[in-house]
Amino acid sequence: MQRASRLRRELALLATEPPPGITCWQHESQAGELRAQILGGVDTPYEKGIFNLEIVVPERYPFEPPKIRFLTPIYHPNIDSAGRICLDVLKLPPKGAWRPSLNISTLLTSIQLLMAEPNPDDPLMADISSEYKYNKQLFLLNAREWTEKHARQ
């Protein structure tokens, strides 16, 4: 019950005051299934890309974080080929930083920030991480190519 009313409030807020470059909506009639789009940030290799994400909100939300993954392939050290995201706010303590005071808008904004500022010291993709650290030009080139190939409408 708590999940449903909280989700309604959050989705209403996301519809009326969405964070810049982020949209989120309910997927079909599934109560705990949402979809989101994040626009690639200006001056990042993801610029002009539109990235689709799947959000599965667990029954215990907000006491448990939603599961969020990229549906659009993205070349990023903290996002693997299955779209899973390595970000502390998506995990429960002690390993993570999820708190019930966080919401879906905050999480999507954090993911948008991670896209602009990868964390190569906590990678899911070791090869992309070392490329980011030691050959940034190649990383930027590859990330732009992937964006062009997978995230342009």
Active site residues: 86
User: What is the b/e burial string over 12-30, where b = at least 16 CB atoms within 10 angstroms of the residue's CB?
Assistant: eebeeeeeebbebebeeee
**33 contacts 26 by C-beta, under 8 angstroms:** yes
Query: From CA 75, how far away is CA 27, in angstroms rounded?
Result: 25
**32 contacts 56 by C-beta, under 8 angstroms:** yes
**67 contacts 58 by C-beta, under 8 angstroms:** yes
